Amino acid sequence: MTTIELNEENLPRLAPRPCDCHKGQLGHAVIVAGGAGMGGAGLLAAQACLRLGAGLVSLLTHPDHVAASLARQPEVMVHGVTTAAGLQPLLPQATVLLLGPGLGQTGQAADMLEAAAGSPVVQVWDADALNLLALQPERFIAAGPRILTPHPGEAARLLGWSAGEVQAQREQAALQLARQYQSVVVLKGHGSLIADPGGQLLVCRHGHPVMAGPGFGDVLGGVITAFVAQGMSSVDAACLAVWLHARAGERLAAQGRGVIASDLLTPMRALLEAWSPV
């Protein structure tokens, strides 16, 4: 097994934007996230997606979260949705989907996930989308290609392993997930791994323990989604997002403890501009 280490020699870049570029050329990311009481997860993902360059971002979340989300980030189009039927007018607008942050595991959440999985576009599955997939894999057959972004606990549920087994065999776990679910997989954690169904395996050895906190995974999902929206392949989007996310965490570590997920947005933007200038 050959594992490729991500570095500045093999890291993908976003294409430069033409002078006559407009938002419609930069994708429309639709994020299905934020069940009752979990509005922050979807908002963090939407903010990250917008800040890292997606042309349009729609957040489909519980109605209780609409006002607060618009107050915090008015550039995001926020819709209150609680049923699969409520998704239907909005899904055809998507060029990429992010499914699951804070979505919950209720029957309604499962129905919404099943409806969204029928979309033909690239789908980023995170958090509760992964938990629901582990419970009923036969129900959630995705029409479009998937990117799965599990932490070790979610990976364990998807594989039927223990979390300890995943951590002891991280490379094998990532490759098995990619093959089993025919998806690009980002296995998060110390030395995040990116695997594809063809057996390609890449590792990012950057990052810092200050990133051990809530919302960091939601931000990563939003960044991957932003890069897919802008035309990157699933593997390239995952690699660039994981690298920027980890390097931004390293920059913030100089400030000590108490770093929060939304703090990543400013250093990630600076790193992206240095790496892939507009």
104 is in an annotated binding site: no
The answer on whether 198 is annotated among ligand-binding residues is no
Is 115:131 a contact under the CB 8 Å cutoff?
Answer: no
Q: Any known ligand binding at 62? A: no
| Distance from C-alpha of 144 to C-alpha of 103, rounded to nearest angstrom | 20
* 69 annotated as belonging to a binding site for a ligand: no
Residue 192 is labelled as binding a ligand: yes
Q: Starting at the edge strand that comes first in sequence, how are the strands of the sheet with 28-32 ordered?
A: 4-5, 201-204, 192-195, 184-187, 146-148, 122-125, 96-99, 28-32, 56-61, 77-80
Report how far Cα 192 is from the mean position of its chain's Cα atoms.
14
> 3-state DSSP call for residue 64?
helix
* Chain center to CA of 183: 13
- Annotated binding residue at 102? yes
In order, the DSSP letters of 242-255 are: HHHHHHHHHHHHTT
> Is residue 190 part of an annotated ligand binding site?
yes
**CA-angle at 159, arms to 49 and 111, nearest 5°:** 55
Residue 191 marked as a ligand binder: yes
CA gap 145, 244 in Å, rounded: 23
Binding residues: 41, 102, 151, 188-192, 217-218
Binding residues for AMP: 188-192, 217
Binding residues for (6S)-NADPHX: 41, 102, 151, 218
